[in-house]
Structure 1
């Protein structure tokens, strides 16, 4: 078995540039993302729902980061749930949350380690590309 980088740095750069193009101020979310990893996958995933509708560009940044995690983990052979969820549909939210809680402890740990590194890369690129005032 050989080392596979999964191009986390390149993916993070792309995520930051996309967020910057939509709204440069949404880049402040990168620091919040990095802190949120410590609270677990379900809470990280749910943050895009909280922001949906009121702070759309921030919500998109969180969701694109989650989508990237799912893709990366899929390449590593770990299936991360990523159902389309309407933020007003409690049943859909509950179903998705249950899928995340049902991941094996090993898969959760691996996903959190990868998400931590991805968010570290996102913060690094944010520091390089950020313009304007802070939130």
Structure 2
């Protein structure tokens, strides 16, 4: 075995701790009705890419019955962004909720237009990530979802 004369500085390297974060999220959402079933859907959705994975929370947010599921997807995305940060991968994670008032019909239309623009801007940021960053994010997300499924199978009430 040949040893390098250069000493590697590994102080910046940190393990992803995907298992820990997955366990944490599964426990957080464990007692919400049918939310943990989303773990399996998340794992399947990874194959369709980051933008579609991110967008699933928006679809679920539209219906009051699935808001907890939407929050689970959003929490997973948020945690993924935090996990990738030390590796230098900046996963877009903008809030796309409009703060405009919606008291009148015109205000409601303006609010919807504002949210549409925010969603488009967020999608563009995801699509604009470099190919290596996209690949890294997808690889980590795949492993993260595998861990979510594993913990879901153990902790489902």
Q: TM-score, normalised by structure 1?
A: 0.91
1:11 corresponds to 2:21: yes
Aligned equivalent of 1:73:
84
Contact 1:24-1:130 within 8 A present in 2 as well: no
- Work out which of the two has the higher radius of gyration on C-alpha atoms and give 1 or 2: 2
**TM superposition outliers: structure 1 runs of 4+ over 2 Å:** 1-5
Aligned equivalent of 1:35:
44
Q: Which runs of 5+ in 1 are unaligned?
A: none
Query: Secondary structure at 1:86's aligned position in 2?
Result: coil
Aligned equivalent of 1:116:
142
Q: For each residue in 1:48-91, what CA deviation from the matched residue of structure 2 results, as whole angstroms up to 9, or x when unmatched? A: 01101411110000000000000001011110110001284111
Aligned mates of 2:44, 2:138 — CA distance in 1: 12
Between 52-61 and 9-18, report the one with greater CA deviation.
Answer: 52-61
Q: TM-score, normalised by structure 2?
A: 0.79
Equivalences, count: 130
Compare the two structures and name the one with the higher helix fraction: 1
Aligned equivalent of 1:130:
156
